[in-house]
Chains A and B, each alone.
Chain A
Amino acid sequence: MKREAPKSIADYSPLFFPGLMLIVFFVIPFSTMIAVSFFLRDPSGFYTPDFVFDNYARFLSVFFGRVLAFSLMLAVMVAICCVAIAFPFTFLLTKRPRKVQTIWLVCLLSVLSLSEVIIGFAWSTLFTRTAGITNLFVFLGLMKEPVALTPSFWAVLTGMVYQALPYTILVLYPALVRLDPQLLEAARTLGASPPRAFFNVVVPALRNTIVATLIMVFVFALGSYLLPQILGRPSHWTLSVLITDQAIYQSNMPFAAAMAVFLVLMSLALVGLTLLVGRKENAL
């Protein structure tokens, strides 16, 4: 079984089914959506096929500018918070004994099964005035009286960080668990204290992983549509919320599609920019 280029049609056969499925059920829907974004909205029903830029023109308003900026800013903050919490955590986790790691991994995988709705509901409960955690803080003497922490920006941020955290840990895990322990040991023999060695050796060594993870969480956070609604005010609604709103409640598919295309392009551009800057740094 040599690893070589495919020679006959039969050699290509494993690719037929996946290729077919992916092209028919992913590429085509996606292209359809791009096409629809140029259609004209039909007030009585769905839409009429056309080719107009009307939908994209609606972006050039202050309102959407603000929503876009907010969505991007929120996603960036979620990404930074998640990676900042998850990176040291995952690093320390990989140093624990096998059994401890296994238990934590099973727990993290189980938490993944909480749907966005439930997460929103649970955190909104935790942040209420009557039964939320502020009561605990009052009990501990940290606050004077209980306060409702929701709806608010910080509630949305907390909820989204919570949702992304298990994914972040699981994405960082392979890279950190394979990290050569001798790197750290070498640093320590050269006089670096453990925290210093961590920041001077581990973080730079895994810079690419960190950047990739930040991008992943960023894109993931951009897609969040329920938590901003449940935990925040309308001013906290992201682009994804608006897209869903337009598509389903306002029955304005073309506009929703246009926003979706725009969102994808924006994410790709930001990701591309980040990678470009990173490459420039490496070249220097």
Chain B
Amino acid sequence: MMATFLRRLYFTVVALFLAAPLIVVAGVSVNEKQDLAFPPKGFSLSWYGQIFFDAEWRAALIASVTLAVTAAALAVAIALPLAWFLWRRIAPWANVFQILGLAPFILPPVITALGMLTFWATSGFYGQPWTAVISHAIFFVTLPLVTLSLGFASIDRSLVEAASTMGADDRTVLRTVVLPLIRPYLVSGYAFAFVLSLNEYIVAYMTVGFTIETLPIKIFNALRYGYTPTMASVSVFFVAVAALVFSLIARFGDIRKLLGAMSSES
């Protein structure tokens, strides 16, 4: 049928569009020599090994992962009580905090990065590693905030009322009903923030770029100064990690629902 063919064509074109850069990057990553040729000259997986065996790349990898793990955790730690408060209480003025939570992500990254730079420079902590953690946490707080708001909104309030008729006080309801139902949204919010933090360049650069090299910073430098296919293999590696993380979430949870679908059997 014509409609089916057109639809398939449309999807294929979009798929190719999205995949094209990935194909290029994957191709570059298997170059035999230290050459960013595409199509690749020769075939070698050694550049994947470089990520772990080259001291500089490994240091950058560890720095990025550490930053991502801690920043995402902090972002969730900020977002959870806020989303909980907005759901639990009627307090219209508190919505200002919600806007503050959404703002960092909506503003152009360079502005947030600049703001952080001036702040840390003025306060004298410029260059310390933990400033990157806080900066990233604030920058990415929007993601867990949005997923958690979605999650809280999806809780049927009659479940909460039923629990209290059965003798559960506020804390018990939180512990036995709300948190278990929120957990998937916590996980997806964390995963989002984690993946994005791994690949974030400018905020990291502006806050600690002169003292620590995260992977995106190293890639950017590699692009400018020392062409090496390792930067391509790193990117492929990251995409693979993201794919793995999100596949796991899809496998053990309902990713459609986490991204906004109503729960249904359709």
A and B touch in the complex (CB under 8 A): yes
Q: A residues engaging B (CB < 8 A)?
A: 1, 3-6, 11-12, 14-19, 21-23, 25-30, 32-33, 36, 46, 85, 88-89, 92, 98, 101-102, 105-119, 121-123, 125-126, 131, 133, 162, 165-166, 170, 173-175, 177-178, 194, 216, 219, 222-226, 240, 243-244, 247-248, 253, 256-257, 260, 263-264, 267
Whether A113 and B90, one on each chain, are in contact in the complex, defined by CB atoms closer than 8 angstroms, is no
In the bound complex, what is the Cα–Cα distance between A102 and B249 (angstroms)?
Answer: 10
Of the candidates B11, B91, B111, B157, the one whose C-beta lies within 8 Å of that of A89 is: B11
Are A3 and B78 within 8 A (Cβ)?
no
Give Cα distance in the complex from A79 to B18, angstroms.
Answer: 17
Residues of A within 8 A of B51 (CB): none
Q: Is the CB of B91 within 8 A of A123?
A: no
The answer to whether A110 and B111 touch across the interface, beta carbons within 8 angstroms, is no
How far in angstroms is the closest Cβ of chain A from B216?
5
By a CB distance below 8 angstroms, the chain A residues around B235 are: 114-115, 118
Main secondary structure of the interface of B (DSSP, over half): helix
Chain A residue at smallest Cβ distance from B219:
A117
Q: Name the residue of chain A whose CB is nearest to the CB of B90.
A: A5
| Chain B 96-144 residues near chain A, CB threshold 8 A | 97, 100-101, 103-104, 106-111, 114-119, 121-122, 134-135, 137-138, 141
Measured CA separation A257–B262 after assembly (Å): 43
Q: Given the complex, which residues of A lie within 8 Å of B198, measured CB to CB?
A: 113
B182 on interface, CB distance cutoff 8 Å: no
User: Which listed residue, A22, A240, A267, touches B138 by the CB 8 Å rule?
Assistant: A22
Is B115 within 8 A of A32, CB to CB?
A: yes
B173 is an interface residue with CB less than 8 A from chain A: yes
The reply to whether A118 and B97 form a contact with Cβ atoms under 8 Å apart is no
Please state if B114 and A126 are interface contacts (CB–CB under 8 Å): no
B85 within 8 A of A: yes
Which one of A111, A117, A173, A243 lies within 8 Å of B260 (CB-CB)? A173
Smallest CB-CB separation from B3: which chain A residue? A194
Q: A17-B81, A131-B38 are in contact. Are A32 and B122 (CB under 8 A)?
A: yes
Q: Which residues of B contact A117 (CB under 8 A)?
A: 201, 216, 219-220, 223
B118 touches A33 (CB 8 A): yes
Q: A1-B170, A22-B101 are in contact. Are A89 and B14 (CB under 8 A)?
A: yes
Docked-complex contact B117 and A247, CB < 8 angstroms: yes
Complex interface residues of chain B between 220 and 257 (CB less than 8 A to chain A): 220, 223, 231-232, 235, 238-239, 241-243, 246-247, 250, 255-256
Which among B88, B107, B138 has the highest number of chain A CB atoms within 10 Å?
B107
Partner of B110, one of A101, A113, A243: A243
B residues adjacent to A (C-beta < 8 A):
3, 7, 10-11, 14, 17-18, 20-22, 24-25, 28, 36-39, 77-79, 81-82, 84-85, 88-91, 94, 97, 100-101, 103-104, 106-111, 114-119, 121-122, 134-135, 137-138, 141, 150, 157, 160-161, 163-164, 170, 173, 195-196, 198-202, 206, 216, 219-220, 223, 231-232, 235, 238-239, 241-243, 246-247, 250, 255-256, 259-262, 266
- How far, in angstroms, from A16 to B90 measured CA to CA in the complex? 16
A89 to B7, CA, bound (A): 9
Partner of A33, one of B114, B238, B262: B114
Known A19-B97, A92-B11, A113-B199: A178·B260 in contact at CB below 8 Å: yes
A residues less than 8 Å from B107 (CB atoms): 219, 223, 264
Chain A residue at minimal CB-CB distance from B256: A101
Tell me if A17 and B77 are in contact (CB < 8 A).
yes
Q: Interface centre among B18, B84, B104, by most A CB within 10 Å?
A: B18
- Give the complex CA separation of A105 and B202 in angstroms: 26
Asked if B256 and A105 sit within 8 Å, CB to CB, the answer is yes
A114 to B26, CA, bound (A): 12
Q: Assuming the A-B contacts A92-B10, A105-B255, are A125 and B108 also in contact, with contact meaning beta carbons closer than 8 angstroms in the complex?
A: no
A-B contact pairs, 17 of them (CB 8 A): A1-B161, A4-B90, A19-B97, A26-B115, A26-B138, A33-B114, A110-B243, A113-B198, A114-B22, A114-B235, A115-B219, A115-B235, A118-B219, A126-B24, A177-B260, A223-B108, A257-B118
| Contact yes or no, A112 B242, CB < 8 A | yes
Query: Quick one: closest B residue to A88, CB to CB?
Result: B10
Indicate which residue in A98, A162, A243 contacts B17 across the interface (CB closer than 8 Å): A162
Q: Given A105-B259, A106-B246, A165-B18, are A122 and B138 also a contact pair (CB < 8 Å)?
A: no
State how many angstroms separate the Cβ of B62 from the closest Cβ of chain A.
Answer: 18
Distance between Cα atoms of A23 and B242 in the complex (Å): 31
A4 to chain B: closest CB distance in Å? 6
Q: CA of A175 to CA of B259 in the docked complex: distance in angstroms?
A: 10
Chain A residue, CB-CB nearest to B215? A115
Provide the bound-state CA to CA distance between A175 and B117, in Å: 37
Chain A nearest Cβ from B232, distance in angstroms: 8
Task: Kindly report which residue of chain A lies nearest to residue B216, judged by CB atoms.
Answer: A115
CA A112 to CA B155, docked complex, whole Å: 28
Contact of B115 (CB < 8 Å), options: A6, A30, A46: A30
In the assembled complex, which residues on chain A have CB atoms less than 8 Å from the CB atom of B3?
Answer: 194
Chain B residues within an 8 Å CB radius of A223: 107-111
